[in-house]
């Protein structure tokens, strides 16, 4: 049985889930929702399906789950991705939630004037986010954020960084060697590389 992922026909918060499913080599169906009747029908099914009236929504048989970082944690645990240690799993969750904060910063920049975007790149992005991510990689002393292999924390961070360097002009990682190496190595992981180069990936 494959998973069903319901989200807009865009990357957004759904992309990190797609990335993880590809990393896990799990089958899934993309179900695209639109404003209007399709979303209204989904919301009309009530809080048992969409507790907060928003997507992404993951369906695993008769089990449904919303909220991107929580979906990532569920899939990681179900498929044994990452360490079994409770504390390491909690740290992975914390990093995934931190990546969601970074994603929110990115969302706030969309459609904003170029000077606002550049202020973020030279300010918060360069002075807070990139040094903190670099520091976490140094602490783990590996190519990833937790343990010795990619976890849902890495997926969440990579997707947030990828959105910024792809869509915010002038965004770059090169001053932070560990972050740069992580970004490249994750994209080069064979299952991720195959997905990124496939027609299945939504253009924007």
- Domain spans of the chain, in order of start: 3-79, 86-189
CA atoms of 68 and 153, how far apart (whole Å) = 12
| Whole-structure pTM value | 0.95
Name the fold adopted by 86-189.
Glutathione S-transferase Yfyf (Class Pi); Chain A, domain 2 (1.20.1050)
pLDDT of residue 43: 86
pLDDT, tens digit, 9 for 90 and up, residues 139-163: 999 999 999 999 999 999 999 999 9
Task: Classify domain 3-79 at the CATH topology level.
Answer: Glutaredoxin (3.40.30)
Whether the link from the prior residue into 107 is cis, omega within 30° of 0, is no
How many Cα atoms occupy the beta-carbon half-sphere of 100 within 13 Å? 17
DSSP β-bridge partners for residue 58: 5, 65
- Torsion sign over Cα 102, 107, 108, 111: positive
Q: Exposure of 13 by Cβ count < 10 A (0-12 exposed, 13-18 middle, 19+ buried)? A: buried
Rounded Cα distance between 106 and 90, Å, is 25
Nearest alpha carbon to residue 186 among 156, 158, 148: 158
Per-residue confidence band for 92, with pLDDT thresholds at 50, 70 and 90: very high
3-51 per-position pLDDT tens digit? 999 999 999 999 999 999 999 999 999 999 988 878 888 888 888 888 9
Can you give the pLDDT at residue 119?
98
Residue 45: predicted pLDDT: 86
The rounded distance, in Å, linking the Cα atoms of 49 and 171 is 37
Strand bridging mode 3-7 / 28-32: parallel
Q: Are 96 and 160 in contact (CB under 8 A)?
A: no
Residue pair 64/48 in contact by the 8 Å Cβ criterion: yes
The answer to whether the beta carbons of residues 177 and 184 sit under 8 Å apart is no
Confidence of residue 1 (pLDDT cuts 50, 70, 90): low
């Amino acid at each position: 049985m494959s998973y069903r992922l319901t989200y807009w026909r865009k990357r957004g918060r759904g992309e990190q889930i797609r990335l993880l499913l590809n990393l896990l080599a799990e089958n899934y169906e993309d179900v695209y929702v639109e404003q209007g009747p399709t979303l209204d029908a989904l919301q009309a099914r009530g809080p048992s399906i969409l507790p907060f009236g928003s997507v992404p929504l993951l369906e695993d048989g008769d089990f449904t789950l919303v909220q991107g970082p929580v979906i990532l944690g569920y899939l990681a645990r179900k498929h044994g991705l990452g360490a079994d240690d409770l504390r390491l799993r909690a740290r992975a969750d914390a990093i995934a939630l931190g990546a969601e904060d970074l994603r929110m910063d990115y969302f706030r920049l969309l459609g904003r004037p170029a000077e606002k975007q550049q202020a973020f790149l030279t300010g918060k992005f360069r002075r807070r986010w990139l040094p903190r991510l670099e520091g976490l990689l140094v602490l783990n002393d590996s190519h990833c954020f937790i343990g010795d292999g990619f976890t849902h924390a890495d997926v969440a961070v990579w997707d947030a960084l990828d959105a910024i360097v792809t869509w915010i002009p002038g965004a770059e990682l090169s001053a932070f060697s560990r972050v740069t190496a992580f970004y490249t190595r994750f994209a080069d992981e064979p299952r991720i590389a195959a997905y990124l180069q496939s027609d299945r990936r939504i253009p924007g």
